[in-house]
Structure 1
Amino acid sequence: MDDLARRGMIRQAMRAPYLTRDEELALALRWKERRDQEALNRIALAHMRLVVAMAGRFRHFGLSASDLIQEGHIGLLEAAARFDPDREVRFSTYAAWWVRASMQDFILRNWSIVRGGTSSGQKALFFNLRRLKARLAREHGGDAPRHELHTAIAEALGIRTSDVAAMDARLSAADCSLDAPVAGPDGERPALSATLVSDAPLPEEVVARTIDGERRRRWLDRALSTLNPRELKIIRERRLSEEGETLEALGRRLGISKERVRQIESRAMEKLRAALVRSDPDRMSSAA
């Protein structure tokens, strides 16, 4: 919507007649019972002043007033389509929530390329942070430390102080391209992306490790299935547990000597090796 179209919409909204309660009820019933499109349009047009006024409340987010009005108009039409006259409330009261929600969602989607306000608490913080900061600054004469302001805002909204600090930092800085040059040593100006080094493994490495881990687990499970119950218990207690049971303690639990435990373990390890070679001889030769 260009500026000329926006001014035309505002003039049309200002000229639209107000509806009395009875007129509003009659139009709402026509839409609800007969799906009369003209009745829906008249309700929406009569309340475009609400959209224009609410768009002015969100002007400080730096987005186009035309776009805000357009989004608010979509919310207004949604409210008109859902309005239930049997609730005995004025349409403006009901529509205000839809108009505000539509504009807020548009702002969250377009204010930054990084999506914010994904939870109800973050959304409330995004739209109230500036107002609460200004109010608290006035109450403290503008001398309150930033961390105290963050703590007070977190208590007012019932969220964590760290969330307030993170949102304050986001609202205080504009988006920056990863290709933007930054000051480097020796007068160099590398791209910002070149300075963002991560020690985390690459995605393909993570996937490869996950797949290999699943294959090794299935390979080992097949080999362990060749052991009898006592051999399997000894191998699990001695080789596959984090702490590793001692021969003596395991012998006491099984009612045998520690030397017998060692013999069973040795025999089980030979059976495992043989089973692993049969299952995948190439893997075993490379491991060796």
Structure 2
Amino acid sequence: MTSTSADRRMIQIAMSAPYLARDEEQALAQAWKERHDQDARNRIAMAHMRLVVSMAGKFRNFGLPFGDLVQEGYIGLLEAAARFEPERQVRFSTYATWWIRASIQDYVLRNWSIVRGGTSSAQKSLFFNLRRLRARLARGDSHLTSEAVHQEIAAALGVSAADVRRMDARLSGADVSLQAPIGNGGEGEGADRIDFLASDAPLPDEQALESIDGERRRHWLHAALGQLNEREMRIIRARRLAENGATLEELGVILGISKERVRQIENRALQKLKAVLVSKTADHAYA
């Protein structure tokens, strides 16, 4: 059986389900709530399958299988049946509509694109209403610019115009795999789209230059550290070269001197290092 035939069969079953009178609906809902009567819950659900089919039809323009939309709507219908409170004297269809729509909308948001969207209520409203509002504005005034349309929609939905522009761009095109081959018959024929993405990595000559400069700087630092005496070297290693630098007070206890004296020795050592490194840099610049 093809998907079209299966969809048609599903609609026929839904439309042939008998309607429930208000009293019968209340009795079945009471049986489910008080005795967890599964048959009562199923009868309520089947009687409202036409509501699921109708709601699923409103989301067909998102390109997802109609049968899947109906199944997701049925999950929402069962959730509504499980939570329905008959003592509130509200018709089940009124209560179930919200659950059915919410279930289908969640499915659409999860499967329409591999990029997750509609994470807030405002974004969900924008996702599901953008096309409708844009079409209505176009019918009312065909001379409106795209920016004017975006501004109107942003004001109507309480979002920013930038959000409208981004969502409009997303809805205007489907996902494209980076592994998809390019077959335009021109330059790049046979390559994948990912091959044409700009890389943030340094160019080969930049990598080579960085490697040479890095080695040179390490040599200069080693030479500069060689100008320090033993105490200065110990303090610099503990304070500047260790992963978790020691405090002045900790080094003072270890060396048997005050933390102020440790600070003075550290500053003198840093001045020595700076003088050597500046000299090395100047020599390299004039070499």
TM-score, length-normalised on structure 2? 0.71
- Cα 1:220–1:111 shift into 2, 3 Å: same
> Is the partner of 2:118 in helix, strand or coil?
coil
How far the C-alpha of 1:182 sits from its partner, in A, is 4.8
- Note the C-alpha offset of 1:191: 2.4
Deviation at 1:183, TM superposition (A): 8.6
The answer as to whether partners of 2:249 and 2:259 remain within 8 angstroms in 1 is no
Aligned partners of 2:260 and 2:247: how far apart in 1? Answer: 17
Secondary structure of 2:246's aligned partner: helix
Would the alpha carbon gap of residues 231 and 72 (structure 1) be closer, same or farther in structure 2, given more than 3 Å must change? farther
Where 2:244 maps in the other structure, the secondary structure is: helix
Measure, in 1, the Cα distance between the counterparts of 2:246 and 2:148: 57
How far is the alpha carbon of 1:223 from its aligned partner? Answer: 6.5
- SS of corresponding position for 1:187: coil
TM-score by length of structure 1 reads 0.71
- Residue pair 1:72, 1:99 contacting (<8 A) in 2 also: yes
Residues 57, 217 of structure 1: alpha-carbon distance in 2 compared, 3 angstrom cutoff: farther
Segments of 5+ residues of structure 2 without an aligned counterpart are: 203-239, 253-257, 271-287
Task: Tell me the residue number matched to 2:158.
Answer: 158
The CA deviation at 1:129 is 0.4
Q: Is 2:202 aligned against 1:177?
A: no
Matched AA of 1:220: G
Which whole-Å CA distance do the structure 1 matches of 2:69 and 2:85 have between them?
Answer: 26
Where do residues 56-135 of structure 1 align in structure 2 (5 Å cutoff)? 56-135=57-136
Cα distance change, pair 9–218 in 1 and its aligned pair in 2 (3 A):
same
Q: Report the CA distance shift for 1:221/1:151 in structure 2 as closer, same or farther (over 3 A).
A: farther
Structure-2 change in CA distance of 1:218 and 1:165 (3 Å): same
Q: What is the SS of the residue equivalent to 2:90?
A: coil
The C-alpha deviation readout for 1:148-171, integer Å capped at 9, x for no partner, is 111111111111111110110011
Count of paired positions: 226
User: 2:275 maps to what in 1?
Assistant: none
- The alpha-carbon deviation at position 20 of structure 1 amounts to 1.4
Matched, 1:27 2:28: yes
> How far, CA to CA, are the matches of 1:63 and 1:20 in structure 2?
34
Task: Report the equivalent of 2:266.
Answer: 268
Q: SS of the counterpart of 1:219?
A: coil
| CA distance in 1: counterparts of 2:154 and 2:62, whole angstroms | 22
Aligned to 2:17: 16
User: What is the identity, as a one-letter code, of the residue corresponding to 2:102?
Assistant: A
Superposed displacement of residue 51, structure 1: 0.5
The alpha carbon displacement at 1:22 in A equals 1.0
Q: Is the 8 A contact 2:32 2:38 kept in 1?
A: yes
The aligned residue for residue 259 of structure 1 is: none
Structure 1 residue 219 and structure 2 residue 219: aligned? no
Judged with a 3 Å threshold, the aligned counterparts in structure 2 of structure 1 residues 164 and 217 are, in CA distance, closer, same or farther, namely: farther
**Aligned counterparts of 1:131 and 1:156: Cα–Cα separation in 2:** 12
Q: CA deviation at 1:72?
A: 0.7
Identity of aligned residues (%): 57
Q: Is the 8 A contact 1:28 1:39 kept in 2?
A: yes
Q: Name the residue aligned to 2:282.
A: none
Once the two structures are TM-superposed, the CA of residue 138 in structure 1 deviates from its matched residue by: 1.5
